[in-house]
Amino acid sequence: MPELMNYNCYSREEWSHFHGQYFHNITDADLEQIKSVDDEVSLTDVQQIYSPIRHLLHLYLLNYQQLSQAKAQFLGQKPHKIPFIIGISGSVAVGKSTTARLLKVMLQRTYPQYKIEQITTDGFLYPNQELQRRGILQEKGFPWSYDNQKLLQFLEDVKANRHPVAYPSYSHENYDIVANQTNLIDDPDILIMEGINVLQLPQNQQIYVSDYFDFAIYVDADPQLIEQWYIHRFKGFLKAQQKHPDPQNYYYQYLQRPPQDVMAMAHRVWREVNYKNLVEYIAPTMSRADLILHKTTGHVIDQVLLKKY
């Protein structure tokens, strides 16, 4: 765990005391629907880790709404809704999606009167054909593989409440943008956006994705553990294809290759793409987060760091 002087670091036990009412309405069945293939999350995690986070978000949201109203009055404007945006970052396979989905469910049950949306930034990757044309298909996920201008415009439109706002659709079955298909975000009260790039600072831009966030979370772990989780997830997707082969699925191509070659390739992709991206471009953004969740073996969150100022 890096030394970050502008954060207070709390053990799991210490953090567990920083919450209001415990969420009894989250069940094991909910968690089975929420967690990713390679992730683990328990009701104990909900009680000790995520309930305090939910309560902290409640405080931030209340302050945000009060400030928005006060600012409108200061400007002589009619108060209007401005969506509250939560960003979640971290490495590939570290568990960002599970964190995002769990927080979405908890917030929905806290605020049944609010519309809460969740998206990933995968839809803002350039299509594989464009990545290939640029000669950067092997660098997919690196900062320059995203259409950052489109992503910034999307966030600007969401914050300005120009609803509905369209964004590209990404297929996690064939790992590419779906041509001629978009998704819509329509007048959310809270938007959760997760992705490896959400806290990054692309060069030569006057504004950054994180400038639109009202609260940011970084999910951290030792890279050796993340590699294990990445390989475990890879094996899980392969196993799913063995049971239900689909020629359109990205992992189908590996079914006819020797298993040892396939796994050697997976480790090479981790080392040359995902680990390189983590060390050079993702982990350096950690200090832009308001909250850092540090994981250890078994996806157990053992430390929580909260920014002091």
Contact 299, 41 (CB under 8 A): yes
| pTM, entire model | 0.94
pLDDT value for 23: 58
What does the pLDDT average to over 16-34? 76
What does the pLDDT average to over 274-298? 95
**Does the annotation list 97 as a binding residue?**
yes
Q: Can you tell me the distance from the alpha carbon of 71 to that of 76, in angstroms, rounded to the nearest whole number?
A: 9
Q: CB-based burial of residue 306 (10 Å sphere; 0-12 exposed, 13-18 middle, 19+ buried)?
A: middle
> Who's near 172: CB < 8 A, 6+ residues apart?
122
Q: Binning pLDDT at 50, 70 and 90, where does residue 29 land?
A: confident
For residue 2, is the peptide bond before it cis, meaning its omega torsion is within 30 degrees of 0? Answer: no
**Does the annotation list 298 as a binding residue?**
no
> What are 94-123's pLDDT values in tens digits?
999 999 999 999 999 889 999 999 999 999
Where are the chain's structural domains?
A: 7-304
**Does the annotation list 135 as a binding residue?**
no
Q: Can you tell me the distance from the alpha carbon of 55 to that of 283, in angstroms, rounded to the nearest whole number?
A: 26
**Does the annotation list 94 as a binding residue?**
yes
Domain boundaries 7-304, CATH class: alpha beta
Tell me what percent of the residues of the chain surpass a pLDDT of 90: 78
**Does the annotation list 158 as a binding residue?**
no
- Quick check: 93 pLDDT over 70? yes
**Does the annotation list 96 as a binding residue?**
yes
Q: Binning pLDDT at 50, 70 and 90, where does residue 159 land?
A: very high
In Å, how far are 107, 131, 215, 229 from 47, measured between CA atoms? 14, 43, 21, 24
**Does the annotation list 36 as a binding residue?**
no
**Does the annotation list 71 as a binding residue?**
no
> What are 178-237's pLDDT values in tens digits?
999 999 999 999 999 999 998 886 655 677 788 999 999 999 999 999 999 999 999 999
